[in-house]
A and B are shown apart, each in its own frame.
Chain A
Amino acid sequence: MIKTIGLALQDKDWAIVEISGKREFKITNHVCGEWAPETADSAKAEILKKAFLSHQLSNKNVVVSVPMKEGYWKQMRLPALTERDVNRLIKNAFFQGLPGTPDSFCWGFKKSNFGSKQLLISGFALPKQLMREQADLIQKAELNVAYYLPDRAHLSTGLAFVAGEDFSTGGATMFLIVNSLDVEICLFQANDIEYYRHFPLLLNEGKVEQEALSDELRLTKFMIRKEIRSLPDCCYLLDQADHWPREEGIEIIAAAFDLEQANIKIPSEIGLPLSFCQKKEIVSLSSLIAVGLTLEARTNERASIRLTTGKRRKGIKDQITFLLAALGLLMILAGVTLNLRLEHKEKQTLLGEIAKHEKKIGEIKKLISLEEELTKQALFFQQEWEMNRKMQKFFAVWEEVVPNGTILTSVIFDHNEIRQITGRCLSFSELYQALLTSSFFKQLQVKGEITISRDGYEVFTLSGKWNEHYEVHN
């Protein structure tokens, strides 16, 4: 079962509400209590810690309220630009007129379309110092915060859920909260806060300065008219201090806002459960806000103004970075593993293939070496035989090449070389020229001198290698 927990923290009291259910929500836990405004944070933290423990409430992802009157709430209309430009514009417009730089605030905003070309921006900023104090209290109470929400912004939602049919949902609804030292005015349209203002309550000897209050209320009316151009249809008077008789208050409000007295409701007319009332006429705002916070947690993130501390934002960013890095590393590991596995499988297949044909390959290799051996043997016999043919060929070619009148007198052939050819001819130069033109004899060289015999012949001696490149054909 999905459970969400809202924690509302006020000056004088606190409330924890747990809501369960998926489509139909049900309050499954409601704890509230009071503390004096001067109570130390450590004592407050202890109270909260005990409350969570004793009611067995989860301390994870708790939605916590921040005081709206301590911060700055603004509603603006901006042209519908690109996301990046709008965000920059919002920042500039929102912090214009605020006492401090954007860095000194913890802030958030929500956007909604306003007409076709405009955006309606609602934003809230809380000084960082206050946010830190709130965060310290929560940390001491050992709670894990999902995010912070401005308290009054969710009052209407909480009241609507608790009061059910008794809560008027039509038109603009105003909440007038009278505290002991100030007055808060919240205007809601369909549970969305559209206007918020608070001003100090002037007291004279413990009694409300009615004239001053009336002036402030009238001023508020003018401001509402100026900013949102619609006045409230009904008003809920939530008097937390019991400063004045109820009728007087109703009269002042009716006069200031031009409302009929019947449209100004007090807690006893709303029909709240007893646990949501501190006294007969005093509503437990903390409890209503806590309900509103839990319900908000079930809505779309973009539909509300959620504040997070820098630490948590950083934590989320770090967590995302860490997760991405881890995911990346896992993917790399998976890739490497897969690659190694595929390679291993491929190697197994290849080795299997090699082993399968090993015997056959051995036979083929034997065939190759046998062929080499036989070729070598046949080549040897062939060469020996061809040498024989060269000697025979010598005389046939000699007859064709040499000039007439050439006579051989001595021939010594060796297996490897023409050792000596001696003879006589009419002209050695003519003979030698003829020999050089023949590819069979061109390697023959003259050995010794050419002498002239008594009968006029030139006597010569030649020697040389057999011509290796001369092919002998049968």
Chain B
Amino acid sequence: MKFITRKTWPLVAIAISIAGLCLRYALFSPNQERTAEHYSQSHLYSTDSTLLKQRVQTINSLLNREEEYRKRVGECQQAVANWEKSFFVGSGDSATILLVSIVEELAAKAGLAVKNKTLHPSLSGPTVEGWERIGVTIEGRTAFRALTAFYSALIAAPKSLCVERMELHLDEYTGLLSFKLKLYSFTHLP
């Protein structure tokens, strides 16, 4: 090659190096048709290696904590299962009947005289997905001691029964309390 003289060979070497780099890293291409592999390759060049390192770090951290997550999920599942056991299963009506029977039983044991009951097979209010709020409102007159006994029984009942509203009025002449308790619980729809 006549043009490669002593003065021009470094220029030729540089030109070849630049061309090699351009081809190697596909800085330009004659057409825009690119294969899927080409896309993944270009993605490889465009992604910042710092971001990739951070992603790998996150992955390693997640992998290291996998057992811990499994354990925590197990614990949560157990806790939720315990709660589920303490609530009702079935439609709102059937569950409400069961709830009322439990309330009646507890009231009877505590000596609470219930004069009026209003059933609520579907109560509005916050709940968890797949669950429905049910309840009952009981009214009557009773001594303070019977009321506290009923309340204690309510806490210790096998099913979780919560109080949404409580109204107590003292009849100062008789010393009796007229009460109105709105109780509620949750039922899991089958």
Residues of A within 8 A of B (CB): 319, 322-323, 326-327, 329-330, 333-334, 336-337, 340, 343-344, 346-348, 350-351, 353-354, 357, 360-361, 364-365, 367-368, 370-371, 374-375, 377-378, 380-382, 384-385, 387-389, 391-392, 395, 407-415
Contact B165–A415 (Cβ < 8 Å): yes
* Given A319-B6, A350-B56, A392-B152, 15 new contacts (CB under 8 A): A333-B18, A336-B21, A337-B24, A348-B44, A350-B53, A370-B73, A371-B72, A374-B77, A374-B79, A381-B80, A382-B83, A387-B162, A408-B170, A410-B169, A412-B166
Closest to A383 in B: B126
A375: chain B residues at CB < 8 Å are 76
A336: chain B residues at CB < 8 Å are 21
Contact A344–B55 (Cβ < 8 Å): no
Residue in A368, A395, A407 whose beta carbon sits within 8 Å of that of B170 in the complex = A407
B73: chain A residues at CB < 8 Å are 367, 370-371, 374
Known: A329-B14, A414-B165. A377 touches B80 (CB 8 A): yes
- Nearest Cβ distance between residue B160 and chain A, in whole angstroms? 6
A413: chain B residues at CB < 8 Å are 163, 165-167
Known: A329-B14, A330-B17. A371 touches B76 (CB 8 A): yes
A-B contact pairs, 24 of them (CB 8 A): A322-B10, A337-B24, A347-B47, A347-B49, A354-B55, A360-B63, A360-B66, A361-B59, A364-B63, A367-B66, A367-B69, A368-B69, A370-B73, A370-B76, A374-B77, A374-B80, A377-B83, A378-B76, A387-B163, A388-B162, A391-B151, A391-B166, A412-B168, A414-B164
| Majority secondary structure, B binding face | helix
B151: chain A residues at CB < 8 Å are 391-392
B13 within 8 A of A: yes
User: What is the CA–CA distance of A10 and B60 in the complex, to the nearest angstrom?
Assistant: 86
| Majority secondary structure, A binding face | helix
User: What is the CA–CA distance of A360 and B69 in the complex, to the nearest angstrom?
Assistant: 13
Contact B7–A322 (Cβ < 8 Å): yes
User: What is the CA–CA distance of A365 and B58 in the complex, to the nearest angstrom?
Assistant: 12
Contact B10–A330 (Cβ < 8 Å): yes
Contact A337–B21 (Cβ < 8 Å): yes
B13: chain A residues at CB < 8 Å are 326, 330
Contact A354–B52 (Cβ < 8 Å): yes
- Nearest Cβ distance between residue B146 and chain A, in whole angstroms? 13
Contact B79–A353 (Cβ < 8 Å): no
Contact B167–A364 (Cβ < 8 Å): no
User: What is the CA–CA distance of A226 and B72 in the complex, to the nearest angstrom?
Assistant: 109
B24: chain A residues at CB < 8 Å are 337
- Nearest Cβ distance between residue A149 and chain B, in whole angstroms? 24
Closest to B167 in A: A412
B11 within 8 A of A: yes
User: What is the CA–CA distance of A337 and B24 in the complex, to the nearest angstrom?
Assistant: 10
User: What is the CA–CA distance of A61 and B19 in the complex, to the nearest angstrom?
Assistant: 35
Between A360, A371, A409, the greatest number of chain B beta carbons within 10 A of the residue's beta carbon is seen for A371
B98 within 8 A of A: no
B70: chain A residues at CB < 8 Å are 367
Contact A350–B52 (Cβ < 8 Å): yes
- Nearest Cβ distance between residue B42 and chain A, in whole angstroms? 12
B62 within 8 A of A: yes
User: What is the CA–CA distance of A340 and B26 in the complex, to the nearest angstrom?
Assistant: 13
Closest to B185 in A: A384
User: What is the CA–CA distance of A42 and B126 in the complex, to the nearest angstrom?
Assistant: 113
Contact B128–A385 (Cβ < 8 Å): no
Q: State the 5 A-B residue pairs at the shortest beta-carbon distance, nearest first.
A: A326-B10, A374-B76, A350-B52, A413-B166, A381-B83
Contact B155–A377 (Cβ < 8 Å): no
A364: chain B residues at CB < 8 Å are 62-63, 65-66, 69
B37 within 8 A of A: no
Contact B44–A353 (Cβ < 8 Å): no
Closest to A333 in B: B17
